Amino acid sequence: MEAEFLSTMALTFKLAAVTTLILLLIGIPLAAFLVFSKMRFKSILETVVSMPLVLPPSVLGFYLLLAFSPASALGSFLTEHGIRLAFSFEGLVIGSVLFSLPFMVHPIQSALSQVPKSIFEAAYTLGKSKLQTMIRVILPSIRHGLISGIVLAFAHTVGEFGVILMIGGNIPDETRVASIAIYDEVESLNYAMAHQYALTLFAVTFAILLLVYTLNKKSLGRIR
Amino acid sequence: MIVIDIKKHLDTAEGPLEAHYELSISDGEFLTLFGSSGAGKTTLLRLIAGLEKPDSGRIEVEGEVWFDSDRRINLPPQKRSVGFVFQDYALFPTMSVRENLLFSAETPDQRRAVDELIEMVELTALSDRLPATLSGGQKQRVALARALVRHPKILLLDEPLSALDPAMRQKLQDELSLIHARLGVTTLLVSHDIAETVKLSDRLASVVSGRIERLCTPMEFFSPQTLSGKLQLIGEVLKIEADFPVSVITLLVGSSVVRTVLSSDEASELRVGGHAIISTKAFNPILIPLP
């Protein structure tokens, strides 16, 4: 029982960590694009990014399940190449990335939009390329936005339920994460175990958020 | 030698404007772009730095073409040797004073010269501080030193002192003047402050509606009469109080407030915020040195 508890918790945090890392890598360029692009159809992309905020998780999960199933074009293509996304950890990562996208993109987007244009221009007139400017000047100065994005995306992925239930099911060591386990234990009237999961999630997420906001406040005080 | 002949369509607060800048600046010259806000002074600096693209024309700096619409040349800002001092300083917030300069240096020589530059702007004691902990005048000095790190061919100053209090402003004007004399870097300053312009610049380009209307020395511009027995002062009109048959005019001359009386007719040509020359005839000025 204890081993199962530990492996479920490990899987939960592994999913959250992998998802957050991927989100960080795609969230920064995506947020930069949303802030700086003058493209006409930008608001469509902005809407798509924000959709998971209002969409029931089951809707996203349902469509992902359809897309992953061997009956669909994407699913059959993947199956031919030996990749199975439905009811697998990889599939959960894709679902979580999509579902937590706004939680990473929005804080970065809002921090980026507050950086004065002249900071970018100053770096350019000092001979720095756009990439150098982004890495050396801009990202360090929006770190509070990055930290908020990381924390929110991580916490949101830990707390995810609907999407995972739809596309992942409840396979130990593959797709059985803590939120699913709680539901499962309650269904089987195993309240003690459910409580152990719930309390652990509660304590860990509280501790992470508290730590990060405390650190964030300190570092902000230094550069403001 | 810097030769500029560029056109640019501008959308200003007062409506669209077809700006056409024709200007040549000699090496080592200190030229001030003088004019009211919205005349297109800052735009000219941004066009030179490559932060905005002219519609047509040519910019050549010391024989190097930075922009030429006919030959489709448009160097990006990174490739233009400019030092730009922004109105809001634009210091990199997570880097200390020293790091701001070091980040800008490109060669080992420039890196070694960083401490010397910091000393020149009197910031040695503050070199490990973050920009947020500095005063406006100190930030301005960092911005200036940072703009000088790469030995730019032209230093572009966009109203760098406008946000400072009068005392700090005067001190920095003196410093700017000294630094220019010492480094001899060709400098283009945007200003609408008369004292600053007279004090710092070799020549003045008066910018009106996107065009350079006059190019002369500041004294020729502000005080057109040749030297005579007349005492002439330039002031800014602060207040016009009609008190028939006369008007009491309050002017700001330098940092002193002066009141004088005009006939209401004469006063009708003045407006608050405008500039006026005060002169007196048959007058023998007495100069008493202040302690």
Residues of B with CB under 8 A from a CB of A: 49-51, 76-80, 82-84, 86-88, 90-95, 103-104, 106, 130, 132, 146-147, 149-150
Residue B32: closest CA among B224, B163, B180: B180
Is the CB of residue A89 less than 8 Å from the CB of residue A15? yes
Amino acid (1-letter code) at residue A129: S
Q: Which residue has the higher pLDDT, A76 or B127?
A: B127
pLDDT at B291 over 80: no
pLDDT at B40 over 60: yes
**Which pLDDT does position B285 carry in this prediction?**
67
- What DSSP designation does A69 have? S
pLDDT at A208 over 80: yes
- Mean pLDDT in residue range A56-73: 88
**What sign does the dihedral A118-A122-A127-A131 (CA atoms) show?**
negative
Rounded CA-CA distance A130/A143 in Å is: 18
Between positions 111 and 150 of A, the ones with CB within 8 A of B are: 116, 118-119, 121-129, 136-137, 140-141, 143
Question: Band of the pLDDT at B284, cuts 50, 70, 90?
Answer: low
- What DSSP designation does B182 have? H
**Which pLDDT does position B105 carry in this prediction?**
93
Scanning B15-165, the segments in alpha helix (DSSP H) are 41-49, 97-104, 108-112, 114-120, 136-148
Q: How many CB pairs under 8 A join A and B?
A: 67
Which of A114, A120, A126 should one mutate to test binding to chain B, selecting the residue with the greatest count of B CBs within 10 A?
A126
Question: Band of the pLDDT at B39, cuts 50, 70, 90?
Answer: confident
| Peptide bond connecting B245 to the previous residue in cis, omega within 30 degrees of 0 | yes
Average pLDDT, chain B: 88
What pLDDT digit, counting tens, does each position of B50-60 carry?
Answer: 999 999 999 99
What pLDDT digit, counting tens, does each position of B79-107 carry?
Answer: 999 999 999 999 999 999 999 999 999 99
pLDDT at B45 over 90: yes
pLDDT cut 90: percent of chain B above it: 54
Nearest chain A residue to B104 by CA: give it.
Answer: A126
Indicate the length of chain A as a whole number.
224
